[in-house]
Structure 1
């Protein structure tokens, strides 16, 4: 009977994050008054959303403030209930370690010469980091901590526990990404002159890690892609892009898929990167997400953004022309998307029909009642560039011609320049 009580303890709804539905570790409140766990709302905002997830209200400000009162209440509830809670909610012993104990663990991690020999210490540090924000802030502020974890990742190994150590390392690093200065320190360490040795362990996690570790690894890569130089350095490691594409094709978890899509959107700025992604088979994967009616809104929107980006190169348009379903799916998505999604869908159709002059694409648009939908978008759209692309599409669809003159003019959309390439 006691065991049943332990398994059926009710978590107060106020303590659950509206996004993850887990007990909040670091509650923060938006200007709408709704409180979320910091990591969950941070990822929501960084993915491009400008609304409150719970209320769907537009956010005049994306700033949030710690909800200290709720944090204290959750902490007291966890402490008072720890004897009755399932193990996942009761704080592990390492989570209650003193600063001096954690410093000793860090010194142990630094002093070891092989990855697998510091596995136990890393586990305790990971437990400590997972418990609460103060712990993560302490680790991030500890001199040499980030550098020590990166050093662990680049050491030699070879034992069966090597991948476990790498997973622990990326999990710890991902947990402190939002702390001051961490991204900058990670960028310096991971993208130094021997970056292949630094990024290879992350690729190993993408290839062989568990789901949560793969997500953490993708977020680390995304966080260090801060400028054109860092993005180029990451893309030059072909295994990074190849593993990212493989994850999109093979994995069905929505969180991992969206993390990879966000990373590729951030990374893909140069023409060479776009061509490389096309060669790796990105376009058919994106087309499948767009055409799949079971795809969630964020997945479709990110897939459209990435499709629009690769449609600016001739190789991308050629690959899209060969996909029988993509054009019709784009038309079907019109008027059912956010403003940004509609803009991206129109830009892709414009690239296919007006710039590339693809007769098959124009035929598919016409068969899908595309003319009517494009006219509706043109009437409702405020952006001048999108309206001009719609007019070009209408002219091409009516005339059956290959291109229109204004289709060779550059249009600046909200995110990129669409050029005749």
Structure 2
């Protein structure tokens, strides 16, 4: 087989040489079959040998085994053991071959790190549990740092860490040290939160520990701190926690300063990932429930409606969808709708987002428009006129044409009826309007 590595030759003089400089003449290199993985037929980077004696690239054979295959791909023998023994001799031969052919553009493969095993993870989790019981912050910090380093090495390590109960152990450690003293153990709490951001979802026991009053107090305390990394990690963990059970939302509601801290994450964004997590957390907090009304009122007081509308001006898809979702929940309240009516950006932005971002963004935008138009009690029908002037009538007609589900279709039909009552006040239909640039949900 022929590899994709080629060496370009450059000649001298004349048009023919100019063509050679453009790479028309190339030298091909054959990769020895011994160096190829039997699964992918690519050059092996980390050769390992199964008990059947066949060598594969570690990433490929692990993917094969994780797909619930119980046999050796080459011999078709049933594997009584999934042990993978590093083939150091072959790896050294591959590296030497790469060095010999470096003039052809072949890069030397790095010496792979030994991957983490379930025994390594179980051992370090046991030591963290012991350190937690003793209240030994120094030892626990070192062990959590080790897990953090393992996770940075490879996705394979992360999967191994996640699948062997690490989340519950770290949640227990976070709860225990937060209960003792937040200020005293702040460095450890930050490290645990960093690891927890990629360990969700947790088991039931881990959820209980991380959703405790002491743990939530610590997270809100860190969310109010000036440490940008800690604030980002907190909001990522909160997003994951609130999505698991409504009881965590109820527990969070008992802590002062939560709305202020979440709004600040949007007003002073750290990164798109943190902004999306903050909007998602707010969405869970104000979604219809026994406590949503109080939370919604506080978010409205903090100016979240104007903040969301400003965010929507040039937001990316993920942020736009979440921002519209939050605004849809806020518009369930009278205070939220009043703030939306007052803002001149509301109608132009909502109409513009229909059929432009995604099916989910369109659904939220239509839902918000429906709530605003249906509940507008002013005699002059100001918000409906604004929507007509922004071109909503045409957009809704196109939406019906391209298709939508029954629930959305009902809202669109009702909206069109409301809008039709005021069409004579606005010249809203432009026969020259070209819809070919609209992004359709199919």
1:202 is aligned to 2:236: no
How many corresponding residue pairs? Answer: 324
Partner in structure 2 of residue 9 of structure 1: none
Q: Distance in 2 between matches of 1:229 and 1:127?
A: 33
Residue matched to 1:329: 349
CA contact (8 A) 1:123 1:168 kept: yes
Tell me, in whole angstroms, the C-alpha distance in 1 between the residues paired with 2:280 and 2:238: 11
> CA, structure 1 residues 229+298, in 2 after alignment: closer, same or farther (shift >3 Å)?
same
CA distance 1:153–1:141, shift in 2 (3 Å): closer
Change (3 A) 1:396 1:174: same
The 8 Å contact of residues 234 and 240 in structure 1, kept in 2 or not, is answered as yes
Give the conservation status (yes or no) of the 8 Å contact 1:371–1:397: yes
Query: More deviation in 339-348 or 214-223?
Result: 214-223
Relative to structure 1, is the Cα distance of residues 140 and 395 closer, same or farther in structure 2, using a 3 angstrom cutoff?
same
Residues 211 and 248 in structure 2, CA contact (< 8 A), matched pair in contact too: yes
- Aligned mates of 1:149, 1:130 — CA distance in 2: 21
For the pair 1:222 / 2:245, whether they are aligned, the reply is no
Q: 1:285 to 1:95 in 2, by over 3 A?
A: farther
Tell me which residue corresponds to 2:180.
Answer: 155
Instruction: Output aligned runs, 1:174-185, within 5 Å.
Output: 174-178=197-201, 182-185=202-205
1:361–1:139 Cα change, 3 Å: same
1:137 aligns with 2:155: no
The equivalent residue for 2:368 is 348
Q: Is the 8 A contact 2:121 2:166 kept in 1?
A: no
Which residue of the partner structure matches residue 267 of structure 1? 285
Is the 2:262–2:278 Cα contact (8 Å) retained in structure 1?
Answer: yes
Partner Cα distance (1:95, 1:211) in 2 = 33
Residue 248 (structure 1) aligns with: 266
Residue pair 2:174, 2:189 contacting (<8 A) in 1 also = no
* SS of residue matched to 1:382: coil
Give, in angstroms, the shift of residue 330 of structure 1. Answer: 0.6
TM-score normalised by the chain length of structure 1: 0.64
Q: How far apart, CA to CA, are the structure 1 residues paired with 2:361 and 2:126?
A: 50
Contact 1:247 1:257 in 2 (8 A): yes
Equivalent residue, structure 1, for 2:190: 167
For residue 5 of structure 2, what is the aligned residue in structure 1? none
Distance in 2, Cα, partners of 1:103 & 1:302: 36
- Quote the residue 1:382 is aligned against: 404
Give the match for residue 255 of structure 2: 237
Contact 1:109 1:122 in 2 (8 A): no
Q: What are the Cα deviations for residues 265-314 of structure 1, in whole angstroms up to 9, with x where unaligned?
A: 2333224233332233221121112222xx11111111111111211111
Q: In the alignment, what sits opposite 2:12?
A: none
1:328 to partner: Cα distance: 0.8
Separation of aligned partners in 1, 2:327 and 2:114: 45
Structure 2 stretches of 5 or more lacking a match? 1-58, 60-65, 73-82, 96-106, 424-442
Contact 2:193 2:234 in 1 (8 A): yes
Cα 1:120–1:227 shift into 2, 3 Å:
closer
Contact 1:311 1:348 in 2 (8 A): yes
- Cα contact 1:366–1:397 (8 A) shared by 2: yes
Q: Distance in 1 between matches of 2:392 and 2:342?
A: 19
Asked if the contact 1:374–1:390 (Cα under 8 Å) also holds between the matched residues in 2, the reply is: yes
- C-alpha distance in structure 2 between counterparts of 1:276 and 1:153, whole Å: 27
Instruction: State the SS of the aligned residue for 1:218.
Output: helix
User: Larger Cα Rg: Structure 1 or Structure 2?
Assistant: 2
Superposed CA deviations along residues 107-156 of structure 1, whole A, max 9, x for unmatched, are 553144375674333322332454402233334388x5532332123321
Q: Distance in 2 between matches of 1:334 and 1:165?
A: 46
Unaligned runs of 5+ in 1: 1-36, 38-63, 402-421
Change (3 A) 1:98 1:353: closer
Partner in structure 1 of residue 322 of structure 2:
302
Over 3 Å counting, the alpha-carbon distance change for 1:305 and 1:171 in structure 2 is same
What is the CA distance between 1:372 and its match in structure 2?
1.6
SS at match of 2:322: helix
